[in-house]
Structure 1
Amino acid sequence: MLLPDDVVCELFYALASIDPPICPRPKGEPRYKPHRPATLGWISLTHVCRHWRSVGIDLATLWGQIVCTFQPIDEIIQRTKSAPLTIEFSPSRRSYKSEWHDDVLSPLVPRARVFRDCLYVSRNGDEWGRWYTFFANRALPVLEELILSDGRNFYLPEREGEVLNAPRLRTLAIDIARPIYAPMLRSLHASFGLWHWKILLAYIRRFPLLEDFRADIIIGEDYKNVVLSPDLATLESMLRHVCEPSIVTLSHLKSLIITAENCCDVDGILALLSHLELPSTVALTVTGASEATFAASCLAHHSFCNLRRDVLSIIDTCHVGLGYRLRVSLCERDPSSSVGVHRRPQGCAQLTVYSAPRYIPDILDSIPPMAASTMRELSFSHAICLCTGPCLGSMANVDPRRLTTSLLRFSGITTLELRRQGSNQLVIRLLAATSPTSEIVFPELRTLVLEIHDGTDAAWWDGLRAMLAARKEAGRPIGRLVVQGDGASHTKDMRSTQLEETLDGDLEYLRITLEPERQLVDEVVDERDAWTCNCQVG
């Protein structure tokens, strides 16, 4: 009894999703480079029996997805019938690319729904600029995704009028400002290339419906010091054909990601941001250099510190070989989320700078006064700890006076989160201390969240209780204390040698019960997990 055709079809589609065909290793490719073994994948189902073969050969959609997996094969091309095609030249298919010359591709490209080719992985420099001329004056009525890399020093100003017509294009990744008509474009990735901020600004003006925009590099006015010939001549030729910059409104934008690698990029980023009118809810991510002026200028931009964003998070990390990074996030409070729960930045503005944690006061000072006064939640997180001695968290090398002055600007904070701050008591002490003008830090503070992983000594807990008592006495009590982390169950102090030296005895002696804290606040939320206790008792 034969399986029904629709069941066999589902088997083909299911296998195609997990086992696509893979071409053999490209000729001449070194053996040390990883390459999955060649396989026919789902095509092997056509060898099961005549019935399955007849069904499989008739699935034009599946054949259209693998038309470029191997060298041009007339039989595969014929099986695609009139189905939309996926034309992709991945690194593993480079050995076949020369066989896909223009005469073979030209009749197929109008049927392409997806076209991907990133030339930067190719060894053949003669191909640079091939697609720039190939797509000129072409009409691709069903194209929805286009990913191209032509070689960034290729530009023909005399062909600016030869536009690629792609009315259904929604996703574009490109390394040069190719003239394209794509009124439905939703996602643009300006990949590595000669993207001067003026060129990029003029280019995105063509796509008013953009929802996602990413730029890997943005060149500023100091380009002559970083762009080499022949790229310099190409860039200057492109700039001569760009109109004077003016404000571009991207009212549909949901996500903007920009990366800076040097000072030239920083200059270009700031210039681009100053000419963009963005929705207040856009998720903005900027990764920049270490200049303090860059961080200050970005944070002062209205796209970062609009008054709807009232949650400020500063995360410091340190990676071996990469150094320090500070990630600053500004978000809008989610009323449905519980206090103390890690938030995934949705609709947030995020800035990453290559700076050590000691510059945290500079970051805080960069927040405009109006935005600082409307902040309601503040979080410090010591995400990746490479401390050689006892961990002192984000504030290990911060000047206490500068930090006090910076924190006093955030007078409306109601929730403070201190995550992985080790045994450092600086912020805890500042919450109880007053400045020379008798101003108390965070006078409206009502919720304190402590996430402890490396353990703390008894003196740290004594300092916490002293701060809670001082604020209560001053009429500024903390009403809610949330304690989390696998290092918050016991102190790290060694017990007396006269006491029982068993492990159980040590743990009981060093246990943090949170009973003293319950006498000082209205509510203690104990979110510690005894089963994951990571306290170091000796």
Structure 2
Amino acid sequence: MASQPDAPNAFVLLPDDIIRELFEALADIDTPRRAPYRKAWTSSARSPDLGWIRLTHVSRRLRHIGINLSTLWGRVVCSFPSAWETTLARSRNAPLDIYLGHDGFDAYSHWPISAEELLARARYISDIVSIGQPASRSWWINTSPTSLKYLELAVQHYNFRQGIKPLLPLGQITAPSLVSYKTSYGLALFSKCWCLKMHLIDCLSVPTTTKLQIDCCKSPALLCSILERPETTRSVKYVLDISAERDPEPFRNQAHVKCTVAEDIETSSFQTYRAFKPTKNYSLRCAIGYTLGLPHRGDYAPSSIAASVCTLTFHTDMSVPDTPIRPLPETKHRLEQFGEYLAGFKGIATIYIQRESAPILTVLRDMEAKSATEVVFPSLATIVLDVFSSRLNVATWNGFVDLLMYRKASRRPLERLVLMGSHLCHLSPDIDGGVTKMKLDLRPVKGLVNEIVDLRGKKRCKAESTFNQSLGLRDLNFQCIHTFKNSVLFANTGRGHLAIRLVTQTTALYNALAEVDPPRCAGRWSLYVDDKTPPSLGWIKLTHTCRHLRVIGVDMPTLWARAVCVFPSGCKEILARAKDAPLTLDLKAGGLIDYLHLLPAHNLVSRALHIRDLGFNSYRAWWKDKTLSHLESLHLEYRDVRESEFNVSDARKQLSVINAPVLRSYGILGGFIPFHAPALRTLSIDHPVAWRLLLDSLRSCPLLETLTLTDTRETASTMPFEGDSVSLPYLRYISVQAPSQMGVINLLEALVIPDSAEINTGNCSSPDVFHALLRRRQDVDYISPLGDMLSITAVEIGNSPVRYDRSLRLSISQNVERSYPQYRPMPERGITYEKKCSAYSRRNAQDNPLARAITDTFGSSESAAAPIRTLAFYNTKGFVERDAYPLYINPVPTSVTELKHFRESLRHLNDVTTIYTPEHSAHLFMLLPPDSGPAASKPPLFPFLKTVILNVDSSKMNESTWSVVVDALAYLEAEGRPLERLVLMGSHFCHLAPTYNLQALLMIPSDRNTKLELNIEHARALVGEIVDMRDEGCTCNNPAY
């Protein structure tokens, strides 16, 4: 997320309180997770994810707000064990969520707080209780977790076939704040082990308002015993929710009847029935499984509890839209038996039925017709009919009308009939009539009920995806508790709150999330993507929160237009939501041509706002004969575009021209495609380009501001350059990363650019091009003058320490007024000449690479080096084996013979006044005193030298090297031109090291730590002043490598 360039700006419009609410909302829908367990009994194959914590990495403002939300950090204190100290500190005194897992409290033994303190701060505890040794995990003995609100226990069983011995009492737990207690599937495997099941429940002394939840219980007797407990027999109303649930195994349809002790649902909010799931207001929920057949009588609840059931709901499993599973038996006989069983619930006052459960209405009609004395559902007052997936057929509707007629005739009419759903506008024929629709007449029904509440949606009879209707309504934690009124939106979650007060702020929230959390693709569409982030819906997850957020999110075509290529299987749906908005075609490895074949009916290219295409064949010129009228950004990667084989006219014929009148940014890798872009601002070419072809395209973009290219090359055409200049009045920056051809000079000569334009060239491997660049800086007055600093460095090139080459780099740059510590980093801007040489090639003393590089740089004339005032040497770290002593690549020759020959090339630099060198190059100063013999009659080296800067940063300086420096200072003082100042810098300039050659050093590694005293007083008497900028303290035992 932090890699998005505009991410911080997207949150400018949001105030701090909205950002806090955003953090709280993301904490519910994007929880951080660790591997391999998220909960104590649930194995998670998902990879670890930071979740909402990623938002703190976007900007400093978001980080400051997020870190101060101690409540959220308390929930994730156990998510990342390696960072528990940080998360625990950020949680401050907030309640904690503790996941004990298989290790129990032993996993937190290294924490600075005890288990008792953890329990005292615990808000949520998830634990696994072993059947073999339950007492070892009975942490609740003699404890009183006053902050505990949520408790989840799982049972770890091993050899359950041998039976379970009776368990001893494990004590009582007092949890006055406990609101939810949940056990897992482990209980379902011990349907006859009453001691174990009731023990896990009876060991709690909790308030009567505590929610008790048992999933997948297969013991009806246990359910009845729980319902008859004093805590659950208080005066409340029951909701019997009959819902279907798809079995995870294929070809099996598993249904569950869920008996839920819950608060009565407000009758004024009938829409909540559709999204109703017993996860919020329940006190107890048990699921009794049966395979779409008749459940056994008594499996739901005892008669005393059945009399208190006031609401009956039916929910269909819509997880697979094409094959919904209804919670009713399939055969007519079993359906009639099921209806007779439901008639035993005399207290039912409200029935909620979805389209797939509508046949139960026909069963109730037949029961009303057959029963002369017994009344079916005597307290029934409201029927909610919700049809949102497909239309009702005529027979089902007529059977429902007959039921209303029977109740009217028996003087028991319904108080109200609630009609809901988007597909309750017409009826379908009893025999499959395709798209045939029949009129739904409500006039006969109005006289059969006291009130009709019409909550049907917009009338639309086209077949729609049930997935889109049920998304965010059935399987999500968010429940809508209010509607849009006066442009105000309220949404509520089970454990957090999201209150976005204005629609404009909601839109700003979507725009912000689109910048920091864009959708990411998966599969073959991301095989060549550099980042390895897992696929994600990104901001689209917010549309799955509730209906109101979904309405706003779906109606944002600009955001959907950016994601049209992220999910190929849903591209048509995304295109429909994008409407007429310009598209972002970020195709990556898929290729635009493949995508056009996928959607041949849509003209994607003409609507594209951004295109990123990675291809490998030049014949895929999808831009041919097209005007990309909306295109603003284009990035191409091609591997075989050989524009060097064509002249200008041939290239336009072979490659065509990209015609984009509003294109602002164009980048290409692996070749160059000519273009016509009058509005172009940025051009980047990562490939050697034919400069004539480039110059011809630059004529069409007078507004260009930035030009970046690797190098130039000549075309096959022998036609001479006519010298027509190209004016770029707004150009601010030109960069040539690796100039090696004279075409770079020709291109620069042909461009007419402002005086303030900055020209940056990378490492130049051609002496001719380097000299031409130097002459250009000297001749052209509107470019910055030639630099006065020469920086020399050596680097190793290669991929192994066995075989590699070296590269000498000489850079000329402008040495602005800088302090002495600013000499440590090598100057970044300047003109650099690079000369490669073999590290193991045999050569004589006169064939010194550095000497030849200096000669290539300045030629044979000493006047070319006259502007140089500062000479700086830089060392780089070379290839070394693991745990080996570090070796630094020194550009200065180490052989005495080569060093003396190097002295002759340094005579070009007569005007040097300052020398900067690290410890590995300090032996250079042995060249200052002349040798005896004919060389003594030559002029002195560096006659105007005034300042020497010694930087010892990586390891101690050798004793012999320091002696060379002192001897050089003594020579200068004896010659009558003493050094004005000696600058000492570095962290390792505290002591000296004994002098060893490399072989001796490898033989006696124990002497590496030997340190000798450094006496600078003798040097102080030989120079005008010593500027001591060394670090304090001794760091000899801390090598900086």
Q: Is the shorter-chain TM-score for this pair beyond 0.5, marking a shared fold?
A: yes
Could you tell me which residue of structure 2 aligns to residue 463 of structure 1?
964
Q: CA deviation at 1:316?
A: 0.8
Could you tell me which residue of structure 2 aligns to residue 485 of structure 1?
986
In structure 2, what residue type is equivalent to 1:379?
A: A
In structure 1, what residue type is equivalent to 2:874?
A: S
Query: Where do 1:450-529 residues align within 5 Å?
Result: 450-452=950-952, 453-493=954-994, 510-512=1012-1014, 514-521=1016-1023, 522-528=1025-1031
Within the candidate set 752, 755, 760, 1:284 is matched to 760
Q: Secondary structure at the match of 1:129?
A: coil
Q: CA deviation at 1:90?
A: 1.1
Could you tell me which residue of structure 2 aligns to residue 411 of structure 1?
910
- What do the CA deviations read for 1:288-337 (whole angstroms, capped 9, x no partner)? 55x6x457645654249974411221221114435212233222222255
Could you tell me which residue of structure 1 aligns to residue 776 of structure 2?
302
Could you tell me which residue of structure 2 aligns to residue 374 of structure 1?
867
In structure 2, what residue type is equivalent to 1:259?
A: A
Q: CA deviation at 1:355?
A: 3.4
| Residues 489 and 191 of structure 1: CA distance in aligned 2, closer, same or farther (over 3 Å) | same
Could you tell me which residue of structure 2 aligns to residue 212 of structure 1?
706
Answer yes or no: is 1:328 the counterpart of 2:780.
Answer: no
Within the candidate set 507, 518, 521, 1:23 is matched to 521
Q: Secondary structure at the match of 2:735?
A: strand
- What do the CA deviations read for 1:42-101 (whole angstroms, capped 9, x no partner)? 21111112222223223444323222212262332243345443222112x45x862334
| Residues 8 and 516 of structure 1: CA distance in aligned 2, closer, same or farther (over 3 Å) | farther
TM-score (structure 1 length as normaliser):
0.75
In structure 2, what residue type is equivalent to 1:75?
A: E
Q: Secondary structure at the match of 2:915?
A: strand
Could you tell me which residue of structure 1 aligns to residue 190 of structure 2?
none
| Residues 3 and 209 of structure 1: CA distance in aligned 2, closer, same or farther (over 3 Å) | closer
Structure 2 Cα separation of the partners of residues 281 and 355 of structure 1: 35
In structure 1, what residue type is equivalent to 2:946?
A: R
In structure 2, what residue type is equivalent to 1:147?
A: H
Q: Secondary structure at the match of 1:440?
A: coil
Could you tell me which residue of structure 2 aligns to residue 87 of structure 1?
585
Query: Where do 1:73-472 residues align within 5 Å?
Result: 73-91=571-589, 93-94=590-591, 98-101=594-597, 107-120=603-616, 125=617, 128-133=619-624, 136-141=625-630, 143-149=631-637, 151-153=640-642, 157-158=652-653, 164-173=659-668, 178-192=673-687, 195-220=689-714, 236=716, 239=717, 244=722, 252-259=731-738, 266=741, 268-269=743-744, 282-289=758-765, 293=767, 297=771, 300-303=774-777, 307-321=785-799, 322-335=804-817, 338=820, 340-343=822-825, 345=827, 347-355=829-837, 358-365=848-855, 366-367=857-858, 369-386=862-879, 393-396=890-893, 399-419=898-918, 421=920, 425=923, 427-433=924-930, 436-452=936-952, 453-472=954-973
Q: Secondary structure at the match of 2:983?
A: strand
Alignment check: 8 A CA contact 1:482 1:524 kept: yes
Alignment check: 8 A CA contact 1:373 1:410 kept: yes
- What do the CA deviations read for 1:455-503 (whole angstroms, capped 9, x no partner)? 32212112111212322333333333333334432212189xxxxxxx9
Could you tell me which residue of structure 1 aligns to residue 303 of structure 2?
none
More displaced 10-residue stretch of structure 1: 371-380 or 351-360: 351-360
Structure 2 Cα separation of the partners of residues 476 and 173 of structure 1: 57
- What do the CA deviations read for 1:193-232 (whole angstroms, capped 9, x no partner)? 7x33433344445445544333345334xxxxxxxxxxxx
Structure 2 Cα separation of the partners of residues 303 and 105 of structure 1: 56
Alignment check: 8 A CA contact 1:487 1:534 kept: no
Alignment check: 8 A CA contact 1:46 1:57 kept: yes
More displaced 10-residue stretch of structure 1: 71-80 or 43-52: 71-80
Alignment check: 8 A CA contact 1:87 1:116 kept: yes
Structure 1 Cα separation of the partners of residues 878 and 655 of structure 2: 52
Structure 2 Cα separation of the partners of residues 131 and 303 of structure 1: 42
Structure 1 Cα separation of the partners of residues 928 and 727 of structure 2: 43
In structure 1, what residue type is equivalent to 2:758?
A: V
Alignment check: 8 A CA contact 1:68 1:87 kept: yes
Structure 2 Cα separation of the partners of residues 139 and 184 of structure 1: 13
Q: CA deviation at 1:408?
A: 2.3
| Residues 470 and 9 of structure 1: CA distance in aligned 2, closer, same or farther (over 3 Å) | farther
In structure 1, what residue type is equivalent to 2:941?
A: V
Q: CA deviation at 1:27?
A: 7.8
Alignment check: 8 A CA contact 1:167 1:184 kept: yes
| Residues 314 and 27 of structure 1: CA distance in aligned 2, closer, same or farther (over 3 Å) | closer
Structure 1 Cα separation of the partners of residues 742 and 836 of structure 2: 16
Q: CA deviation at 1:164?
A: 0.6
Alignment check: 8 A CA contact 1:312 1:329 kept: yes
TM-score (structure 2 length as normaliser):
0.42
Alignment check: 8 A CA contact 1:259 1:288 kept: yes
Q: Secondary structure at the match of 1:421?
A: helix
| Residues 285 and 333 of structure 1: CA distance in aligned 2, closer, same or farther (over 3 Å) | same
Q: CA deviation at 1:529?
A: 5.5
In structure 1, what residue type is equivalent to 2:940?
A: I
Identical aligned pairs, as a percentage? 24
Q: Secondary structure at the match of 2:694?
A: helix
Structure 2 Cα separation of the partners of residues 156 and 408 of structure 1: 50
Alignment check: 8 A CA contact 2:588 2:613 kept: yes
| Residues 283 and 159 of structure 1: CA distance in aligned 2, closer, same or farther (over 3 Å) | closer
In structure 1, what residue type is equivalent to 2:1018?
A: P
Structure 2 Cα separation of the partners of residues 531 and 111 of structure 1: 66
Alignment check: 8 A CA contact 1:311 1:375 kept: yes
| Residues 396 and 159 of structure 1: CA distance in aligned 2, closer, same or farther (over 3 Å) | closer
Q: Secondary structure at the match of 1:464?
A: helix
Structure 2 Cα separation of the partners of residues 173 and 378 of structure 1: 39
Alignment check: 8 A CA contact 2:612 2:635 kept: yes
| Residues 130 and 67 of structure 1: CA distance in aligned 2, closer, same or farther (over 3 Å) | same
Alignment check: 8 A CA contact 2:879 2:887 kept: no
Q: CA deviation at 1:159?
A: 7.6
Q: Which runs of 5+ in 1 are unaligned?
A: 221-234, 496-502
Alignment check: 8 A CA contact 1:489 1:530 kept: yes
Structure 1 Cα separation of the partners of residues 979 and 733 of structure 2: 37
Q: CA deviation at 1:177?
A: 5.1
Alignment check: 8 A CA contact 2:674 2:693 kept: no
Alignment check: 8 A CA contact 1:486 1:535 kept: no
Alignment check: 8 A CA contact 1:319 1:384 kept: no
Could you tell me which residue of structure 2 aligns to residue 232 of structure 1?
none
| Residues 152 and 390 of structure 1: CA distance in aligned 2, closer, same or farther (over 3 Å) | closer
- What do the CA deviations read for 1:156-197 (whole angstroms, capped 9, x no partner)? 64488866132452444365554433234333223337x334
